[in-house]
Amino acid sequence: MSSAITPDQVTSVAPVAVRKIKSESQWALAWRRLRRHKLAMFGLFTLLAIVLVSIGADMLAPYPYDEIDLGSAYAPLMTPGVDGAPTHILGTDKLGRDILSRLMYAGRISLTVALVTTILTMLVGTIVGAVAGSFGGWVDNILMRFADLMLTLPDLPILLILSSSLRQNQAFTQFLGSNASVIIIIFILMVFGWMGVSRLVRGSVLTLRSQEFIQATQALGGNRARIIFSHLIPNSIAPIIVAATLGFGAVIISESALSFLGFGVMPPVPTWGNMLNEARNSPLEYLFTQALSPGFCIFLTVLSINFLGDGLRDALDPRLKL
């Protein structure tokens, strides 16, 4: 769940946004460096395409995602539709639902879950890390020992247990309504995802804390909240962005893994992961066509994210180049 972050990434964070004018030129510079990174641009545009197709699923999808046609179940690729209906380009599933249309709608859920989880994870991780780093002492000690403990827990088994048991809790699922399984999955992934970022932020806060502009803020009467929110966090934003990008890919994989095992987002809501779960339970001769496209969507999304993250790492701090 946590992205691997080496100590030299933490210590070599440049104090970027000291003055307003300079910070803008830094971002422009980073963008120019990113544009030169071919793989990162490939990732960015592929990702944009995937996002746009998912958003526009209502207009683009040839069929509704839940239109059942038992007569043409498990249709192979490029099966013509009945009575002049659109072609099933990627075939149909066990209930005769059009796989391409389901993929588009599934993208919505998978991407939304990943986006919300990543934002929440970054938020929690940043706050915990900033508090630990700037308070120091026993606060730092307790928070970081807790993060260590969380990192040592075997995460996948616990995700499975929490997800299965929260779903069985009637009161809880009724309170959350029809999207219960989606909200549960976001919550669980967040609880087990904040540690990497908090360590990262804490590290960069520790290096920033002793620098002159922080002391200047203190001398001018700025309180702790002001130091944390308007100096420490903006100055450690670069590694947070990289971690968030790579974390987004990791969340897509985790969510799909849980849904694949039947402990994540539940049908009839389609996600790439639970479509793969249905593929696994289909007769073996249909396995290839059923599993190919949902898995490829996960692969393409995560690959694009990883390319983009790699490019961002190079662009935001050229010294980090591996």
Q: How far is the CB of 95 from another protein (least distance, A)?
A: 19
Q: How far is the CB of 11 from another protein (least distance, A)?
A: 15
**Nearer of residues 27 and 296 to another protein, judged by Cβ:** 296
Which chain residues interact with another protein by CB under 8 A?
149, 152-158, 160-162, 164-165, 168-169, 249, 253, 256-257, 260-263, 273, 276, 279-280, 284-285, 287-288, 291-292, 294-296, 298-299, 302-303, 306-307, 310, 322
**Nearer of residues 188 and 237 to another protein, judged by Cβ:** 188
Q: Cα angle vertex 43, ends 111, 112, to 5°?
A: 5
Q: Cα angle vertex 46, ends 201, 14, to 5°?
A: 25
Cis peptide before 268 (omega within 30 of 0): yes
186 contact partners, CB below 8 Å, separation of at least 6: 113, 116, 117, 120
Q: How far is the CB of 219 from another protein (least distance, A)?
A: 38
95: left (phi over 0), alpha (psi -120 to 50) or beta: alpha
Whether 193 and 2 have beta carbons less than 8 Å apart is answered as: yes
Cα–Cα distance for residue pair 224/117, rounded to 1 Å? 28
**Nearer of residues 1 and 214 to another protein, judged by Cβ:** 1
**Nearer of residues 131 and 261 to another protein, judged by Cβ:** 261
Residue 289 CA: distances (Å) to CA of 43, 67, 94, 257 = 26, 19, 11, 19
**Nearer of residues 139 and 153 to another protein, judged by Cβ:** 153
Q: How far is the CB of 235 from another protein (least distance, A)?
A: 26
Coil/strand/helix, residue 88: strand
177 contact partners, CB below 8 Å, separation of at least 6: none
**Nearer of residues 165 and 211 to another protein, judged by Cβ:** 165
Q: Which residues pair with 88 in a beta bridge?
A: 79
CB atoms within 10 A of CB 1: 22
**Nearer of residues 27 and 299 to another protein, judged by Cβ:** 299
**Nearer of residues 128 and 279 to another protein, judged by Cβ:** 279
Q: How far is the CB of 63 from another protein (least distance, A)?
A: 24
Q: How far is the CB of 3 from another protein (least distance, A)?
A: 11
Q: How far is the CB of 291 from another protein (least distance, A)?
A: 4
Nearest to 112 by CA among 55, 162, 45: 55
Whether 183 and 167 have beta carbons less than 8 Å apart is answered as: no
Q: How far is the CB of 163 from another protein (least distance, A)?
A: 9
Listing DSSP states for 111-144 in one string gives HHHHHHHHHHHHHHHHHHHHHHHHH-HHHHHHHH
